[in-house]
Amino acid sequence: MHLDHRETFPERHTHGDFRPDGGRRALRIGIGGPVGSGKTATVAALCRALREEWSIAVVTNDIYTREDAEYLLREAVLPAERIAAVETGACPHTAIRDDISANLEAVEELEESVGGLELVLIESGGDNLTATFSKGLVDAQVFVIDVAGGDDIPRKGGPGVATADLLVVNKTDLAPYVGSDLGRMGRDAAVQRGELPVVFTSLVGEGGVEPVAEWVRGRLGAWR
């Protein structure tokens, strides 16, 4: 299957799916996408939507700073001990795809220190359309694009748009102002993705992150 191309997604090399106590480890979901598409805002909104139902932690990846983690801390979306930051240096995609050790370590430290975690969200540093997560780091990945980035992004494809387990088209509230055609974006995405799901969100509008939260609930249900 396309998702299993080794050159795109290296073989899983994380530890097993079970903790030493026999419980299943937390489900790991990667959130990637171009700079400024709304990844941090999506992570924050997901934490708010799901934190009463599930035990959650977050790992953020920034190039030189801890800004995304600091934003999540400021917004108090989770207690501080559930948020970890990885500084990736020059190439954000390297830390989630090629040398995933710093991220794996952050995830495993959170699992150990918090205990009983059910969901870990790993936010990539903003990158381009080719950035995807290694299957050794995440169990599923969400790719966030936005309508202001141009409505031809789904047509252009690339691994994030074409193969992510969920494609999120965010900032639909801005569509009228930037002249983006949501119908066309949906049709182009379907051509690239076949049966893989696509949702449209506006984090400042009605419904907010709910379509993404609903998808995460489904994955969590299946995982447990």
Ligand X SMILES: Nc1nc2c(ncn2[C@@H]2O[C@H](COP(=O)(O)OP(=O)(O)OP(=O)(O)O)[C@@H](O)[C@H]2O)c(=O)[nH]1
Q: Quick one: which of 65, 204, 207, 224 contacts ligand X (CB under 6 A)?
A: 204
Strand segments, DSSP code E, in the chain are 27-32, 56-62, 83-87, 119-123, 140-146, 166-170, 198-200
Beta carbon nearer to ligand X, 126 or 158 = 126
Residue 149 binds to ligand X (criterion: CB under 6 A): no
178 binds ligand X (CB under 6 A): no
Q: Is 173 in the site for ligand X (CB under 6 A)?
A: yes
Alpha-carbon torsion angle 42, 69, 96, 217, nearest 10:
-40
Stretch that binds ligand X, among 16-24, 81-89, 184-192, 200-208 (CB under 6 A): 200-208
**CA–CA distance, 25 with 18 (Å, rounded to integer):** 5
- Contact status: 93 vs ligand X (CB under 6 A): no
Contact string 39-68 vs ligand X (x = CB under 6 A): xxx--------------------------x
Contact call for residue 160 and ligand X (CB under 6 A): no
In a 13 Å sphere around the CA of 141, the CA atoms on its Cβ side amount to: 25
Specify whether the backbone of 168 is left (phi greater than 0), alpha (psi in -120 to 50) or beta.
Answer: beta
Residue 36 engages ligand X in binding (rule: CB under 6 A): yes
**First-to-last CA distance in the chain?**
24
Q: Provide the residue type at 23 as one letter.
A: G
List the binding residues for GTP. 33-40
- In the complex, which residues of this chain contact ligand X (CB under 6 A)? 33, 35-41, 68, 126, 170-171, 173-174, 202-204
